[in-house]
């Protein structure tokens, strides 16, 4: 059986646990640390949130714990339900409720969360990123509009980054694009503030490109515990203006790809994915 873990904020009931009948003696912060210690043994946690019981109920706390993987949440529920864990009385643990009829919009994980997820399943050296091009659109617009005088306070720094996230051992890579814009607010070009703002905008463009690249990947966890990564192209664009601005920057082509599963090729044979390749124009 395959378990798929996307690089997205978990929202389904399968990944969530409700824990109640928690003691009222420790503080909420202490309970949060204890819960994190216990449940992180079963898998990577997205969040641990502790709440006081309603005033009409008995004193104490309850908690909502979110895993990235439904498989890990199920294992944790079976192992921890009706167990004392870190207190003298047993706690109750139940899986969250599914809402099949409700359509959820998938929320992308930020760059640091994506890295954390990749490191957990593949190790720090199991993946890498390669910046293909980092382009300064602010200077480019200046060259294209030399005859048009635009007040500096109406201008903005703008960088576009194209990179790819690579999983070498799985023969899989995912391209990503990110654009960052920062208003200049009357800053003088060449000043320290301008240079610092420029550096921050560059970094933000790279982070957005990494997030975009990770959203097109799926972590495949086999029943044996082995992991693989698969590429799934995503054509959804939330910012039409950004898409139009990037048209002249990136041209995308597609070719078929099969993820590698070593001894368990038969488990992955039904999954056919596409990969994208960047063809970038050369700068003058």
The answer to whether position 260 is within a domain reads no
Helix residue ranges, H only, the chain: 28-39, 70-80, 111-122, 137-144, 192-214, 240-246, 265-268
* 72-102 per-position pLDDT tens digit: 999 999 999 999 999 989 999 999 876 554 4
Share of the chain above pLDDT 70, in %: 70
Residues 59 and 131 in one domain: no
The dihedral sign for the CA sequence 132, 281, 139, 158: negative
pLDDT tops 90 at residue 187 = no
Q: What is the pLDDT at residue 190?
A: 63
What b/e string do you get for 154-163 counting C-beta neighbours within 10 Å, with b at 16 or more?
ebbbbbbbbb
Contact 231, 215 (CB under 8 A): no
Residues 211 and 134 in one domain: yes
Residues 162 and 243 in one domain: yes
CATH of the domain at 234: 3.30.390
The answer to whether position 189 is within a domain reads yes
> How many structural domains comprise the chain?
2
Mean pLDDT for the stretch of residues 160-183: 92
pTM for this entry: 0.74
**Contacting residues for 149 by C-beta, under 8 A, at least 6 apart:** none
Q: How far is the C-alpha of 163 from the C-alpha of 175, rounded, in Å?
A: 6
Contact 229, 217 (CB under 8 A): yes
CATH of the domain at 67: 3.30.70.330
Residues 190 and 136 in one domain: yes
The answer to whether position 25 is within a domain reads yes
Q: What is the pLDDT at residue 101?
A: 45
SS3 state at 76 = helix
Q: What is the pLDDT at residue 156?
A: 81
Q: What is the pLDDT at residue 11?
A: 82
Q: Which domain holds residue 178?
A: 111-141+153-248
Q: What is the pLDDT at residue 245?
A: 46
Residues 128 and 218 in one domain: yes
* 240-265 per-position pLDDT tens digit: 334 444 444 444 322 223 333 333 33
Residues 123 and 244 in one domain: yes
* 9-63 per-position pLDDT tens digit: 998 778 999 999 998 888 899 999 999 999 999 999 999 999 998 766 678 899 9
* 189-203 per-position pLDDT tens digit: 667 888 888 899 999
More confident residue, 184 or 88: 88
Question: Beta strand pairing status for 251-257 and 273-279?
Answer: antiparallel
The dihedral sign for the CA sequence 68, 69, 72, 78: positive
Residues 58 and 176 in one domain: no
Residues 87 and 14 in one domain: yes
The answer to whether position 255 is within a domain reads no
The answer to whether position 273 is within a domain reads no
The answer to whether position 51 is within a domain reads yes
Helix residue ranges, H only, 17-110: 28-39, 70-80
Q: What is the pLDDT at residue 57?
A: 63
Mean pLDDT for the stretch of residues 118-133: 94
Residues 63 and 128 in one domain: no
Q: Which two tokens stand for residue 181?
A: 């814009």
The answer to whether position 254 is within a domain reads no
More confident residue, 206 or 235: 206
pLDDT tops 90 at residue 142 = no
């Amino acid at each position: 059986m395959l378990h798929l873990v996307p690089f997205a904020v978990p929202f389904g009931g399968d990944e969530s646990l409700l824990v109640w009948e928690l003691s009222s003696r420790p503080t909420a912060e202490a309970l949060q640390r204890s819960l994190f210690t216990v449940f992180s043994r079963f898998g990577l946690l997205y969040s641990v949130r502790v709440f006081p019981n309603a005033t009409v109920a008995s004193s104490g706390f309850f908690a909502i714990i979110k895993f990235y993987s439904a498989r890990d949440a199920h294992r944790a529920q079976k192992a921890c339900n009706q167990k004392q864990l870190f207190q003298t009385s047993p706690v109750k643990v139940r899986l969250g409720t599914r809402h099949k009829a409700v359509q959820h919009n998938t929320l992308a994980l930020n760059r640091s969360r994506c890295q954390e997820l990749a490191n957990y399943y593949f190790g720090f050296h199991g993946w890498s990123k390669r910046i293909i091009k980092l382009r300064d659109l602010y200077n480019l617009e200046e060259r294209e509009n030399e005859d048009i005088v635009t007040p500096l306070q109406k201008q903005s720094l703008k960088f576009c980054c194209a990179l790819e996230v690579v999983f070498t051992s799985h023969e899989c890579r995912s391209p990503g694009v990110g654009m960052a814009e920062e208003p200049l607010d009357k800053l003088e070009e060449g000043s320290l503030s301008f240079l610092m703002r420029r550096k921050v905008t560059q970094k933000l463009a790279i982070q957005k490109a990494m997030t975009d690249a990770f959203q097109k990947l799926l972590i495949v966890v086999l029943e044996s515990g082995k992991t693989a990564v698969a590429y799934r192209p995503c054509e959804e664009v939330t910012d039409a203006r950004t898409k139009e601005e990037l048209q002249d920057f990136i041209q995308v082509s597609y070719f078929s790809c099969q993820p590698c599963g070593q001894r368990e090729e038969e488990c992955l044979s039904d999954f056919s994915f596409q990969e994208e390749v960047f063809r970038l124009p050369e700068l003058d």
